[in-house]
Structure 1
């Protein structure tokens, strides 16, 4: 069940990150989901580093860290995707 939640959270975070980033992103949905999962992991690590690992109620601070990390990872990942695989697909 843990993997299912990781995929769902990654999917949602990836879509939120794509909505926040201006312009069009070219990475496919499965890759955006993986980027979102990485953003959740990185956001949790950042929250832990800042001492807001667990708070009573909803962990808004942790979620904000997750969204910020997902935005950065989706933006960088999309540029890397276009620099490698994306250019070959545009020529075809």
Structure 2
């Protein structure tokens, strides 16, 4: 398994946007490996959401996360999470 970014002790932390890019790379790699091993995409999505919300609640608390998710329906409807492939 290759890793997109190396985090070593003694280095300054990466800027937030670079950490997010690295995190997405790790998640995409783990997702692909799980799919290759036969794990259903829907199961992966639900487990990922659970893990993500559990981390957010642990960091920010239930009220803050509840407020954050209130806006998710509109964001989904606006296409923020849609990955569309352009046809050429």
Coarse TM-score class (shorter-chain normalised): 0.3 to 0.5
Q: Which has the higher contact order (CA 8 A, sep 6+)?
A: 1
Q: Larger radius of gyration, structure 1 or 2?
A: 2
TM-score (norm 2): 0.34
Bigger helix fraction = 1
